[in-house]
Amino acid sequence: MCGICGISGLENKSDIDYKTILAMANSLRHRGPDDEGIWCSGSNALGFRRLSIIDLSADGNQPFVNETGEIRSVCNGEIYNYKELRQKLISCGHQFSSQSDCEVVLHAYESYGLDFVHHLNGMFAIAILDKQENRLVLVRDRLGIKPLYYHVNNDRIHFASELKGILADAKVPRGIDPLALNLFFVKEVIPAPFTIYKNIKKLAAGEMLIVDLQGRNEKFKTVKYWEADFTPDYQRKAADFQEELEALLSDAIDIHSVSDVPVGIFLSGGLDSSAIFSYLKNHSGEPIQSFNIGFDDLENDESKIAERLAKDWGASHRQLRLEKTDVIQLLNRIVLSYDEPFGDSSAVPTYLISQLASKHVKVVLSGDGGDELFSGYITGRGAKNIDIACQLPDFWRMNGAAFLDLVRPSNSLKRLKLPTWLMLASLRDHLFDPLCRNILKPHWQVPRDDIWATYEPLKEKLTNLHPVNAYFAGLFAQYLADDILPKVDIASSAHSLETRVPLLDYRIVALAAQIPYQLKFKNNNEKYIFLKTIENRLPDYILNHEKRGFGIPTAYWKETHWRQRIRTLHEQSSIVSDVLDISKIDSWDGALTWRALFLATWLVQWKDYEVQL
């Protein structure tokens, strides 16, 4: 885990100020406190902050440069297949200056050109400056585990691992994007390619941005180089999937554990992290360092079961408890880390457990992705309801649902009137909740059609899939990429901690996407195929444990300090009162209260932005 940044002038119109790239890199120091690398020449500059994980020597510092000096690269992340790829590249005549996994990126690009990304297995955000081709290439890994932001103006492009890296250049405009603000309340996060700022974008998962620095042909070309195909394979039997999944799990956890520093684990007590632990515990002669967080709300607390598993398997276990009074005290720090409004309240425990782990290890494995891949969010009954809803005749859906709305208004009934693909893509979102829409003052609201248009990139992907598979594909493309993965990256990076997600090895993802949904829940068991694959590795008290979420108990905590804090900020800040309408605050549920609290805090904290339509 590191931080990268850079600036490239378009058509050599302007030289880059060394102080600017240095400020950008320094703003990312938390991502990489171990070393710094700055290269600045004419109209191009690259910055790097290093967290030393593989090849701890100075040789592993970046930017890397090829033998001719024509190509330079910076990479944030880990390339898990770097050893085999390195040997292949050496056999082709490439010379390496380090043992770093990220140096293979540079030489793979030399050998394979823009196809180099298909040779990488890892989590990464990459920037390659190619003087020979006069282009800048920005790449984000297949799943979007590592973030990458960019800003374009008339004569240059900025990029960085976090928004604060780009904002370190005072010349970058900071106007708020009203559409992004509306999406925040609809989706609870701001999805790619949007950010809270009009002029800064996120590169999406599995995307490559090719910038022609001479302005020839297409100046900016975005390529979607990979996405999971959720078309089910009905030719294979459950046993076939289990056999391949078992082999992939073993290999993925093995290569995700490669490190020159100790590796720990976030141990929740659920199936996913426990399964990873069952493989990881055999990799080292030393006790595994495991970390957990508990709550003062019994419905959300899994700390006892995690503690039991850690004890049974000889882990060195540490845990802390989150009390409701902690949230307000932590909020200012969390808001400054996330750079833009972030509405998933589980950012709080993720931030705290990252802080705890960072005191003992530099790398942790996490079970993120298992629910999205193997159906941890939906039961067989839920799948049946989706199937039925999508098979209703169009006339009933469009007219009968409208009639029922007059008798019994319902967000669910309104959703039935949407095109099938959009209905499925938006099942987790708050498209029709008037409280979520009217929480913004009228001059900040955008037409609902503008919000619906942001789902359009999913239309082709979801339209031809079975409704349940379409739901999974939409969940994976949105919730995982825009919420879960950014949450973990930002929270862990704030504490100079690298989090790896072996269940999101792209080979496992590709396999899981092909598993028919009938095998993902069966006999009232969620995650059936995953459960059958790992059941011999785990004790019964893990296998039979009822799934619980990782979120804080917002329903209980909203009544205490949260609403009062929003009222106080609303009274004290003209910015907050200009954006938020709190007249219905007593009707807000816990999740909406949290989003409003986060936004209000952000509006006060980020004083250097421009409030403009």
Catalytic residues, by residue number, are 2
Residue 580 near residue 437, CB atoms below 8 Å: no
Question: How far apart are alpha carbons 413 and 401 in whole angstroms?
Answer: 6
Question: How far apart are alpha carbons 380 and 520 in whole angstroms?
Answer: 9
Among 598, 549, 162, residue whose Cα is nearest residue 342: 598
Instruction: Count Cα atoms within 13 angstroms, Cβ side, for 425.
Output: 21
- Report residue 598 as tokens: 């986060």
Question: How far apart are alpha carbons 212 and 570 in whole angstroms?
Answer: 46
Among 232, 205, 244, residue whose Cα is nearest residue 513: 232
Question: How far apart are alpha carbons 166 and 154 in whole angstroms?
Answer: 16
- Report residue 13 as tokens: 């119109």
Question: How far apart are alpha carbons 189 and 30 in whole angstroms?
Answer: 23
Among 466, 468, 462, residue whose Cα is nearest residue 378: 468
Residue 124, H or E segment: strand 122-130
Residue 313 near residue 279, CB atoms below 8 Å: no
Residue 309 near residue 265, CB atoms below 8 Å: no
Q: How many CB atoms are closer than 10 A to CB 227?
A: 18
Residue 76 near residue 1, CB atoms below 8 Å: yes
- List phi, psi (to 5°) of 563: -65, -40
Residue 357 near residue 265, CB atoms below 8 Å: no
Beta bridge pairs of residue 78? 123
Among 374, 370, 322, residue whose Cα is nearest residue 346: 322
* Dihedral sign from CA coordinates of 565, 567, 573, 578: positive
Question: How far apart are alpha carbons 550 and 409 in whole angstroms?
Answer: 32
